[in-house]
Chains A and B, each alone.
Chain A
Amino acid sequence: DAEITQSPRHKITETGRQVTLACHQTWNHNNMFWYRQDLGHGLRLIHYSYGVQDTNKGEVSDGYSVSRSNTEDLPLTLESAASSQTSVYFCASSRSPGYGYTFGSGTRLTVV
């Protein structure tokens, strides 16, 4: 069965370190998204991609970057982790406009 997987499920890192969160989908979806979820803020868009070599900034993109070298993967990199980036991160994909997302199970990141 097709799926979308995130790794790791949990990570603790130190302030200032570079961290990469992985997202891999086997749905063959062109569209992929990264959200962060914080209490009181719901889901906020970090970055998104409409296809290979395409990346776009979302509403909370500062301090984050993504790259899309193939259809299946959209890794999220925190260039220099900050305590404000402690959050739960969700990756999602969709096949085309007007269709709902399929979400991964999330990565809980703690920056100490």
Chain B
Amino acid sequence: GENVEQHPSTLSVQEGDSAVIKCTYSDSASNYFPWYKQELGKGPQLIIDIRSNVGEKKDQRIAVTLNKTAKHFSLHITETQPEDSAVYFCAASTWTGNQFYFGTGTSLTVIP
């Protein structure tokens, strides 16, 4: 089955700096890659996703890039703010698959 690895496990940045979280996957059939943000005491919330027919997607300060050849995708957060502090999870799935395979999470701390 699919194996998703996520790095780093913890990340601290100064407010205003950029943060990058990287994930790799093993199954070349995977073609849908969502990212989730989990705030303390809450369930994960979908923040952005990308499908294999595009290489990059942006939504305001958040962007995701995908390199299918290398089987890796990344989350980029620019101009970080304290409210960006949370745990971020990447995941991988296929068009026809209902299951997601999650990375182990990155705890992001934005220092004011």
Residue ranges of A at the interface with B (Cβ–Cβ < 8 Å): 31, 33, 40-43, 45, 48, 50, 58, 90, 92, 94, 96-98, 100-106
Contacts and interface: CB of A to CB of B under 8 A. Distances in A.
B89 interface: yes
> In the complex, which range does the number of interface residues on chain B fall in?
20 to 34
Main secondary structure of the interface of B (DSSP, over half): loop
B8 interface: no
Interface in B57-112: 89, 93-100, 102-105
A33 B49 CA distance: 19
A7 to B, nearest CB: 13
Nearest to B96: A97
B29 interface: no
Contacts of B97: 97
Contact of B98 (A48, A90, A103, A105): A48
B44 A103 contact: yes
Contacts of B103: 42
B46 A42 contact: no
B45 interface: yes
Given A97-B94, A101-B44, 11 more contacts: A31-B98, A40-B104, A42-B105, A92-B43, A97-B98, A101-B100, A102-B46, A103-B36, A103-B45, A104-B43, A106-B41
A43 B93 contact: no
Contacts of A48: 98-99
A98 B51 CA distance: 9
Contact of B95 (A41, A92, A97, A101): A97
A90 B102 CA distance: 13
19 contacts: A40-B104, A42-B102, A42-B104, A42-B105, A45-B99, A48-B98, A58-B99, A90-B43, A96-B98, A97-B96, A98-B51, A98-B94, A100-B36, A100-B49, A101-B46, A102-B46, A103-B45, A105-B43, A106-B42
